[in-house]
Amino acid sequence: MKNICIIGTGYVGLVTGACLAEIGNRVVCVDTDAQKIATLREGGVPFYEPDLADLVARNVTIGRLSFSTSLAQGMHDAAIVFIAVGTPRGERGESDLQHVRAAAGEIARNVRRDILVVNKSTVPVETSDLVAAILREAAPSEHHVSVASNPEFLRVGCAVADFMRPERIVIGVHEVSTANILIELYAPLNAQVIVTDVRTSEMIKYTANAFLATKISFANEIANICDAVGVDVTEVMHAVGADTRIGRAFLQAGLGFGGSCLPKDVQALAHISRAHSVTPRMLEATLETNRRQIDRICERISVLCGGLKGKKVAVLGLAFKPDTDDVRESPALALAARLVQSGASVTAHDPIAVPNTQKHSPPGIGYAPDPYTALDGAEAVVVATDWNEYKHLDLTAVAARMKGDLFVDARNLYSPQSVRDAGLRYEGVGRPAKRPTAKRVTV
């Protein structure tokens, strides 16, 4: 059992804190946001993440997890302090490190024993060195303060499962003894641990997210070519992904990638690249393809509806992916906003993301209590997030409630024929109506 302090009760900090408590440690999660700490103390979790609320409640009850606004209190017994604060995007796409710097400064002022400071925030290469420099300068010299990098690979929507059954744990350290502390901490997870130097560990995090994003943009580019040549991209990717060197994951063409991680991290890596005079051509193309995907689909809907002015469009899904209420950089929300800008009247539905959408979205989007109500009188419907709830719609009921007949499957969830059989026009991403194969002409 180790005493741990986690700075930041956002998505990464809270999941990490609750899971480390679950595997037997005593954890104090600290945040400067008093409102958030009050909510957590009352048993509330400030965002939706499957299994997290139960995990938090259980570990609070057995006394292994607590919350505080005071870092002095959080660090009182802690041998390990995790930095899990936000690193928002700066003006030029760079990662804004103000919260990391502030956390390092605060830690330095509260060092009362030898500690290990672990950076879990997603940060550019060299940030752990910066944290170490701040600590060296401001922490009392009689205590040994070591610094490690330990990036997270949690996916929104299955973060607890990802933490408990990781495919790998990456630990970046300057000293072997530091690595051993973290290897021991994570031992109950029985996972592959990869120990590197600190900079390599920081680079691994950005590279992983950039590669995932690039796979998605690649799939979307291929989808656009498939559209032009009359081939179904899902069949292509099914076969291509069967090659284990390529793999099937993240080759699903659709509206593009969103969320608080992939877009921001690709931009941050591109920024690092340019700052070191390396032109990030692939990263730029990944971002550009992603931006264009929304325009492309919006333009396509407009063409198929004969213009969007005054037309009612139902948008199913607002979250950036299923199983979350997170709408940050959500392609579904961006599409809804683009449709409104183009003159359409949009009625949206999402199983849980509507309250968050109302906080963030531009005006002009109406909301329906269930997917079918959203369809009433619509010229077109767009399935924009791949929630399970939208995978088995009653297509006959869909056709009956709509005024028009355009079914835009922007996540390629349906068999085109099943949609056509219900009397609807099917429009997927990279799934055109198949062209008949040209017959060989014998002269």
- Note whether 106 and 135 are within 8 A (CB): no
Q: Among 53, 79, 105, 153, indicate the residue that binds ligand UGA (CB under 6 A).
A: 153
Specify the DSSP class assigned to residue 3: E
250 binds ligand UGA (CB under 6 A): yes
Helix-strand-coil split of the chain, %, nearest 5: 45, 15, 40
**Nearest distance from C-beta of residue 45 to ligand UGA, angstroms:** 17
**Nearest distance from C-beta of residue 151 to ligand UGA, angstroms:** 8
Task: Encode 280-290: b = buried (16+ Cβ within 10 Å), e = exposed.
Answer: bebbeebbebb
The span of 30-38, 251-259, 270-278, 360-368 binding ligand UGA (CB under 6 A) equals 251-259
Side by side, the strands of the sheet bearing 3-7 are: 65-68, 26-30, 3-7, 80-83, 115-119, 145-149, 169-173, 193-196
**Nearest distance from C-beta of residue 293 to ligand UGA, angstroms:** 9
Site residues for ligand UGA, 295-334, by CB under 6 A, read 320-321, 331
* Known catalytic residue at 298: no
Ranges of H-type helices in 121-229: 127-138, 159-164, 176-186, 198-229
Beta bridge mates, 365: 346
Cβ-based neighbour number of residue 126 at 10 Å: 13
- Note whether 384 and 332 are within 8 A (CB): yes
- Note whether 148 and 116 are within 8 A (CB): yes
How is residue 431 written in tokens?
């799934």
Q: Among 18, 134, 156, 422, indicate the residue that binds ligand UGA (CB under 6 A).
A: 156
The span of 125-133, 244-252, 372-380, 427-435 binding ligand UGA (CB under 6 A) equals 244-252
- Note whether 425 and 304 are within 8 A (CB): yes
Using the minimum distance from each CB to ligand UGA, give the nearer residue, 93 or 105: 93
**Nearest distance from C-beta of residue 301 to ligand UGA, angstroms:** 18
237 binds ligand UGA (CB under 6 A): no
14 binds ligand UGA (CB under 6 A): no
Tell me phi and psi for residue 233, to 5 degrees: -65, -30
Using the minimum distance from each CB to ligand UGA, give the nearer residue, 171 or 261: 261
Q: Directed axis angle between helix 198-229 and helix 233-241, to 10°? A: 140
Site residues for ligand UGA, 258-277, by CB under 6 A, read 258-259, 261-262
The span of 15-23, 147-155, 340-348, 373-381 binding ligand UGA (CB under 6 A) equals 147-155
**Catalytic position from the list 29, 261, 298, 305:** 261
The span of 45-53, 154-162, 221-229, 387-395 binding ligand UGA (CB under 6 A) equals 154-162
367 binds ligand UGA (CB under 6 A): no
Q: Among 152, 350, 379, 427, indicate the residue that binds ligand UGA (CB under 6 A).
A: 152
Q: Among 10, 254, 317, 430, indicate the residue that binds ligand UGA (CB under 6 A).
A: 254
**SS3 state at 382:** strand
Using the minimum distance from each CB to ligand UGA, give the nearer residue, 300 or 425: 300
Q: Among 116, 195, 204, 216, indicate the residue that binds ligand UGA (CB under 6 A).
A: 216
How is residue 304 written in tokens?
């198929």
Residues that bind ligand UGA (CB under 6 A): 122, 152-156, 209, 212, 216, 250-252, 254, 256-259, 261-262, 320-321, 331
**Which residues are designated catalytic?**
261
